A and B are shown apart, each in its own frame.
Chain A
Amino acid sequence: QKEVEQDPGPLSVPEGAIVSLNCTYSNSAFQYFMWYRQYSRKGPELLMYTYSSGNKEDGRFTAQVDKSSKYISLFIRDSQPSDSATYLCGAQGGSEKLVFGKGMKLTVNP
């Protein structure tokens, strides 16, 4: 079992939809949780990160971590075609190495 599990999708939604992306993790030592976004033929870029449990909001994006259930979520409100990309969840513990999920390919259709 990978330390971070993510459904690879793909996921296709209409423009304006609310998107929910989810991951689970198994290592209780993880303290930082992040979402990276990767456009086609590009390297991943950090979208958001959260320390420990809680929510973090940035515009249309909300990252949520529930350490009791070991659940990582990313919500996208009013999704746009420009949000079409692969989204990778990740986690980091004391070793300072990032562990990534498989990535979910999202397509937002106009």
Chain B
Amino acid sequence: DADVTQTPRNRITKTGKRIMLECSQTKGHDRMYWYRQDPGLGLRLIYYSFDVKDINKGEISDGYSVSRQAQAKFSLSLESAIPNQTALYFCATSDSGQGSYEQYFGPGTRLTVT
């Protein structure tokens, strides 16, 4: 079984709809992250959480919100989706005891906003 899972794997939605992407991990890590990947722009950090009560904005948080429901669960919401949020979204985890440079990524969610 995968250590970091993301649901759904693919999603097509319409402009203005609210959508939630979910991430679960069985690695026991305390830190979790959400990134988006766009061709030509690479991986960019949206939000990160160093523990259940800690939520921080990343490089591109506008239009997104997150919820850390438990140590193992971190969800990303798009309150009102727009076409330029079409991208590949990755969740990642790391262990504070081993350094945040070693992150474990999920398989990604391909989101298309029409």
Contacts and interface: CB of A to CB of B under 8 A. Distances in A.
Contacts of B42: 6, 8, 88, 100-103
Contacts of B102: 34, 46, 49
Interface residues of A, number: 22
Contact of A43 (B41, B45, B108): B108
Centre residue among A6, A43, A97 by max chain B CB count within 10 A: A43
Contacts of A32: 99, 101
B40 A92 contact: no
A97 B42 CA distance: 15
Contacts of A103: 42-43
Given A8-B40, A46-B101, 14 more contacts: A6-B42, A34-B101, A42-B108, A43-B92, A44-B43, A45-B105, A96-B100, A97-B58, A98-B103, A101-B42, A102-B40, A102-B41, A102-B42, A103-B43
